[in-house]
C-alpha cells in the first residue's frame, strides 16, 4: 500500500513541480501537497485489500492532492504572509481530511467501485467484506518551501 500511495504521491508532486511560491513584499501564494504516508491495519489479513483501499484514498482526495493558498500581511514582511498562508492551508486540510470514517460506508464504497474484484472473490454484498478497522496516515506539506506542516490520521472504524 505504501508503494501505491508513494507512487501516486510522486506523480502528483512531479505534476505540481511547475508551481512555486511567489512572494512580493508582504504577499505570498504557496502550493500545498497532501501525501498519503501509510496505512496500518488492525488485522494483517486486511492487507489483501491494500491496493483498492489506496485507490479509494486517492480517489476520495484524502491524500495525493494539491491546492494553493494566498495571503497578505499587514506587518510588511513576507514571512508573516507565508505564516498566514500556512494557517489557511491547515484550515483547508482539516476540512478536507476527516479524522474518522465509518467502516461500513467505506466497505460499501469499496464494493461499489470494485464489483469485479469482489465478484472474483465470491463476495456479492458489501456486508460480506471481511475488513476490519484501519488507519490512514497523511501529511500536509508546504510544497513551495519544502517543509512538513502537519501530520494527521484518518481512522476507519
Q: Provide the number of structural domains found in the chain.
A: 1
Asked whether residue 111 is assigned to any structural domain, the reply reads no
The pLDDT score that the predictor gives to residue 75 is 85
Asked whether residue 41 is assigned to any structural domain, the reply reads yes
Asked whether residue 26 is assigned to any structural domain, the reply reads yes
Asked whether residue 124 is assigned to any structural domain, the reply reads no
Q: HSE of 35 in the Cβ direction (CA atoms, 13 Å)?
A: 23
**Is the predicted pLDDT of residue 24 greater than 70, yes or no?**
no
50-70 pLDDT, tens digit per residue, is 999 999 999 999 999 999 999
pLDDT-derived band at 5 (thresholds 50, 70, 90) equals low
Asked whether residue 65 is assigned to any structural domain, the reply reads yes
Asked whether residue 19 is assigned to any structural domain, the reply reads yes
**N-to-C CA span, the chain:** 19
The pLDDT score that the predictor gives to residue 32 is 98
Report the distance separating Cα 117 and Cα 132, nearest Å: 18
**Is the predicted pLDDT of residue 17 greater than 70, yes or no?**
no
Cα 157 to Cα 26, 100, 104, distances in angstroms: 44, 7, 8
Mean pLDDT, rounded, for 93-115 = 96
Asked whether residue 32 is assigned to any structural domain, the reply reads yes
The pLDDT score that the predictor gives to residue 4 is 53
Write out the residue range of the structural domain in which residue 141 sits: 2-103+134-156
**Is the predicted pLDDT of residue 120 greater than 60, yes or no?**
yes
Asked whether residue 45 is assigned to any structural domain, the reply reads yes
The pLDDT score that the predictor gives to residue 80 is 94
Pairing of strands 100-101, 147-156: parallel
pLDDT-derived band at 44 (thresholds 50, 70, 90) equals very high
Q: Which of 17-21, 102-106, 108-112 has the lowest mean pLDDT?
A: 17-21
Cβ atoms 130, 26 nearer than 8 A: no
Amino acid at each position: 500500500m505504501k508503494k501505491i500511495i508513494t507512487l501516486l504521491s510522486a506523480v502528483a508532486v512531479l505534476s505540481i513541480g511547475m508551481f512555486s511560491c511567489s512572494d512580493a513584499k508582504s504577499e505570498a501564494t504557496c502550493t500545498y501537497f497532501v501525501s498519503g504516508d501509510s496505512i496500518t491495519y488492525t488485522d494483517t489479513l486486511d492487507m489483501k485489500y491494500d491496493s483498492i483501499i489506496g485507490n479509494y484514498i486517492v480517489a476520495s482526495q484524502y491524500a495525493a492532492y494539491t491546492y494553493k493558498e494566498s495571503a497578505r500581511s499587514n506587518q510588511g514582511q513576507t514571512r508573516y504572509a507565508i505564516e498566514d498562508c500556512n494557517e489557511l492551508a491547515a484550515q483547508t486540510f482539516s476540512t478536507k481530511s476527516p479524522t474518522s470514517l465509518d467502516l461500513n460506508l467505506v466497505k460499501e464504497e469499496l464494493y461499489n467501485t470494485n464489483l469485479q474484484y469482489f465478484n472474483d472473490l465470491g463476495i456479492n454484498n458489501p456486508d460480506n467484506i471481511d475488513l476490519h478497522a484501519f488507519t490512514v496516515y497523511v501529511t500536509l506539506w508546504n510544497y513551495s518551501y519544502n517543509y512538513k506542516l502537519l501530520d494527521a490520521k484518518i481512522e476507519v472504524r
